[in-house]
Homo-oligomer: A and B are copies of this chain.
Amino acid sequence: MLQDRTLEVLRAIVQDYINTKEPVGSKTLVDRHNFGVSSATIRNDMALLEEEELIVAPHTSSGRVPTDKGYRLFVDRLSEVKPLSNAERAAIETLLTASSDLEDTLAKTVRLLSHLTNQVAMVQFPTLGKSQVRNVELLSITDGKVLILLVADNGRIEQHMIETPGGYELDDLAEIRARLNAALAGKQLASVEGLLATFAENFAPDRRPLVARVVNGLLESVDANRTEKLLLAGTGNLARRENDFAGSITPVLDAIEEQVVLLRLMSEMQSEQHGVGVRIGRESGIAGLNETSLMVAGYENQGAEVAKLGVLGPTRMDYSGNIAAIRAVARYLTKILGE
C-alpha cells in the first residue's frame, strides 16, 4: 500500500501536469509544493509510483507524466470537487432558460457545457426506452401517405411517414388511431412491441394490410429511436488542444461522427465520482478514443433519469473542474425540465 505522502506526490504530479503540460520532475515538485522533504525523497516516491504504473517517464531523463491508471486513481481518490465560480453559476442560470421546445433547450445546454469546460460537449436526447406512451396520432397527408406521431411523456415527439399503396378511408385511420391509443396510452415504450403483436387480428381481413403497415411504422418509430439522438458542440475545442494528442485528432473526429458508438458508450457508463461517470483513455475500449477521456452524468425528468450529458477531451484535462460543471449543468437541466 502506498503511503499518504506518495499519493500526495501523485496528486501534485497530475495537477502540475494538467496545468503546465510539461512532464514534472522531482525538483520542480518540491519547489512548487511544500512537502517538507527533499527532492531525493520525492524521487523515491516517484520510483514507487512508476512501479505501480501510475506515472511514466516519456524519456529516460525527463519528468513524469500520469498514466491512464494514474488519472484513474486521481479521479477516484484524490480529486476534490472544485466549486463553480460565481461567474460560472451565473452563466448557467442566464443561458439555460426554460423553453417548451425540448430541442431548443438541449441545444442551449450543449453549447453552455462546451463553453464551461472548453471541451467537446454532448447531450443525449431523452431515451424512449424508459418512458411511456402519451398518445399516438395518425395524420392523413396527400398521396396516400400517413404520418405517424408518437408522443412520449418525456416531451419527445417522434414522427414517421409511411406509404399506403392500397389507399384508405379517413374512418379507417380514425378507428386504428382510437384502438392504438386504447391499447398503448400510458404503457412503457419497451412493451409496445409485445402489445401490438396480435393487434391486426382484431380488424376485418380487408383492413389488415393497412393496419399492419401502421403497426410496422410505429414499431420502427420506437425502434429507430432506441438508437438515440445526440447533440454535439465545441468540436473546435478539440483542435485547440491538438498538442495533447500524440497522433492526429482525425480518429477522434471520426469516432465522434460515429454517434452510435458514442451513444452506446454513454449508456454503458455508470455514475461513479460525485454522480459523474468517467472513462479515461483506453478504458473506453474504442481505438479512436485512446487518448481521450469521457465524462457523463444523467439528467432527469419526473424523477427518473431520462438521458445523459457530458464532455469529451484529451486525457490531460481538468477532471475536477469538468466534473463540477457537468454535475451543475445536469442538475440545472433536470430542474428546468421539471418546470
Contacts from A to B (Cβ < 8 Å):
100-102, 134-135, 137, 139, 141-142, 145, 147, 149, 151, 155, 157, 159-163, 233-236, 238-240, 242, 248-251, 253-254, 256-257
A134: chain B residues within 8 A (beta carbon): 141-142
* Distance, CA A233 to CA B232, complexed state (A): 13
Q: A239-B248, A249-B239, A253-B239 are in contact. Are A139 and B151 (CB under 8 A)?
A: yes
Most B-side CB within 10 Å, residue of A101, A147, A236, A253: A236
Q: Residues of B contacting A151 with CB < 8 Å?
A: 139, 141, 147
B257 touches A234 (CB 8 A): yes
> With a CB–CB cut-off of 8 A, which chain B residues contact A234?
257
Q: Is the CB of B157 within 8 A of A159?
A: yes
Q: With the chains together, A142 CA to B155 CA distance in Å? A: 11
The docked-state distance in angstroms from the alpha carbon of A145 to that of B250 is: 45
Report the Cα distance A254→B256, complex, angstroms.
16
Contact B253 A238 (CB under 8 A): yes
Min CB distance A295 to B, Å, is 21
Q: Kindly state the separation between the CA atoms of A149 and B157 in the bound complex, as whole angstroms.
A: 11
- Is the pair B253, A101 in contact by a Cβ cutoff of 8 Å? no
A163 touches B100 (CB 8 A): yes
Which interface residue of A162, A238, A256 has the most chain B CB atoms within 10 A? Answer: A238
Contact indicator A145/B257 (Cβ below 8 Å) = no
Task: Give the shortest distance, in Å, between A95 (CB) and chain B (any CB).
Answer: 16
Query: What are the residues of chain B within 8 A of A157 when measuring CB–CB?
Result: 147, 159, 161
Known: A137-B139, A141-B151, A147-B151. A161 touches B101 (CB 8 A): yes
In whole angstroms, what is the CA distance A159 to B305 when docked? 25
13 A-B contact pairs sorted by A residue (CB < 8 Å): A100-B145, A134-B141, A137-B137, A139-B151, A141-B151, A147-B149, A155-B161, A233-B257, A235-B256, A235-B257, A236-B257, A238-B253, A239-B250
Q: Distance in Å from the Cβ of A166 to the closest Cβ of chain B? A: 15
In the complex, A256 Cα to B232 Cα: how many Å? 12
A238 to B161, CA, bound (A): 35
Task: Give the docked Cα–Cα distance between A251 and B236 (Å).
Answer: 7
Residues of B within 8 A of A137 (CB): 137, 139
> Which residues of chain B have C-beta atoms less than 8 A from A249's C-beta?
239
A142–B161 CA distance with the chains assembled, in angstroms: 24
Partner of A100, one of B142, B162, B248: B162
Q: Is the CB of A240 within 8 A of B236?
A: no
Knowing that A137-B139, A139-B151, A236-B250 touch, tell me 11 more A-B residue pairs with CB under 8 angstroms: A101-B160, A139-B149, A149-B149, A157-B159, A235-B256, A235-B257, A238-B253, A239-B239, A239-B250, A239-B253, A240-B248
